[in-house]
Structure 1
Amino acid sequence: MKILIVDDEPLARSRLQRLLSPFADVNCVGVAENAAQAWLQIKKLQPDLVLLDIDMPDEDGLTLAARIAELPLPPAVVFVTAHAEHALNAYQVSAADYLLKPVVAARLEQALAKVGTITRAHLERQQAVEPKIAYQCGLVTKNVALADLFYCSAESKYVKLTFRAGEAYVDLSLADLEQRFPQLVRIHRSYLINPQYFSALKLTAGRYEIQLNCCDDKLPVSRRSLAQVKHDLQLK
């Protein structure tokens, strides 16, 4: 189990690291001292569990936990705090457990056992659900299945999805989509494609373009990305 520790107090971070060290199946992959650092670490390290303080400068742990819960496959969150009065709010943002400082080893072990079960169940549920991307259509939230997505293109502050039933705009970056759906292939700083619709890579007037078998659009391939594109699409 990969664990990220988030606490603005160095002594608290060190104590948790010491308490975690005897567990053979636990790997503390990183520490963060505030919510901004934690958010970057979560995206980079993909932890299974975040041990999260509540009272921190700027963004508090409850607000960060609410953001974490919106991720496609969020890590479990266990709050570690000196304040018992936050317990109700903690469970309202889907916390797996709530530990009071100073944390004792036996109580931490209980929390880890509970999270292990949650994490396995979460993964099984995620694998059973077809990946989808949500978008707004007026006041209605709709979804496009990843299998029906042709490509994504960056346009100003938004990303346009082109798919079997039409087009839609999402308030996400290409980097966000690339992270959430690693099966998509980056062919240009402004384009991601679904490789299942790849038809051909052609050199036209000195420029590389990709043709898809689902539409007539010709999508540019940057020279910088060319080698990686060929690798990802298994082209020679």
Structure 2
Amino acid sequence: MNVVIIDDESLARGRIKRLLLINNDITVLGEADNGAQALTLINQTQPDLVFLDVDMPTLNGLEVAGLLNKLSMPPAIIFVTAHPEHALDALQLSAAGYLVKPVTQSSLNKALEQVGRLNKAHMQKQQSTKISYQLGGTLKSVELDNVLYFNAQEKYTNMVFNDGEALIEVSLKQLEQLYPTQLLRIHRNTLVNKSKLLALHTPSAGVHSVELTGCAQQLTVSRRELKAVKNILN
């Protein structure tokens, strides 16, 4: 299990890290001492579990958790705090566990056992991410895994999937925030499903485009997003 530790107190981070050392199945990917750094670190490392201090300046742990829960596949969260009165708020944010400082080996082990029990059900739930849309007055949905790309169309977003396409009222920016691990921006007007990326083409005219699995049309890649596309394909 890959974890990150977020706490504005270095001693508290160090204590959790030492207690985790006895578990060979756990790897600490990194640490951060504030909410802003936490979001960047989590986005970069994609951990399975986050140890998250509640009381931090500027952006506290509860606010960080609220943002993480908007992700398509959020990490499990164990809150850590010296103030047990925050427990109810933590539970409302679907926390996997809650530790009161100073953290003991016993309380940490119990929290990790709880995460292990939740993990299978959590992953099964997340494996089926669906996006809803209206068609002829009927509410339908499509699995995100079946979506090829999203294209901005004035006030709406056109969603193109394996069996057709539909207009939805969710902006590209909102889709990026909701599904950062699945979607990639290739142009200011276009997001593609990373899993569908097949090849990058550069004709003699110098206009870059991508080929997607199951999509007959090649999609234009802007110069600004070219590096990100190459990183994914490499």
Given that 2:156 and 2:167 are in contact with CA atoms closer than 8 Å, whether structure 1 keeps it comes out as no
1:142-221 pair list within 5 angstroms: 144-146=142-144, 149-153=147-151, 160-163=157-160, 164-173=164-173, 176=177, 179-181=180-182, 188=187, 190-193=189-192, 203=203, 207=207, 219-221=219-221
RMSD: 3.9
Q: State the one-letter code of the partner of 1:25.
A: D
SS of the residue 2:116 aligns to = helix
| Correspondence list, 1:56-95, <5 A | 56-95=56-95
Distance 1:176 1:54 in 2: 23
C-alpha distance in 1 between matches for 2:131 and 2:42: 20
Amino acid at match of 2:157: K
Aligned residues: 223
Structure 1 unmatched ranges of 5 or more: none
Match of 1:8 in 2: 8
Question: What is the deviation of 1:94?
Answer: 0.9
Residue identity matched to 1:162:
M
> What is the CA distance between 1:22 and its match in structure 2?
1.0
Give the TM-score, by structure 1 length.
0.74
Any gaps of 5 or more consecutive residues in structure 2?
A: none
- State the percentage of identical aligned residues: 43
Equivalent-residue separation in structure 1 for 2:76 and 2:90 (angstroms): 12
Q: Name the SS of the counterpart of 2:180 in structure 1.
A: helix
- SS of 1:180's equivalent in the other structure is coil
Give the equivalent residue in structure 2 for 1:121. Answer: 121
TM-score (norm 2): 0.74
Shift of 1:225: 4.3
Runs of 4 or more consecutive aligned structure 1 residues displaced over 2 Å after TM superposition: 124-127, 131-136, 141-156, 158-180, 186-198, 201-215, 217-226
**CA gap 1:33/1:135 in 2 versus in 1, 3 angstroms:** farther
Cα displacement (A) at 1:143: 5.0
8 Å contact kept, 2:172–2:191: no
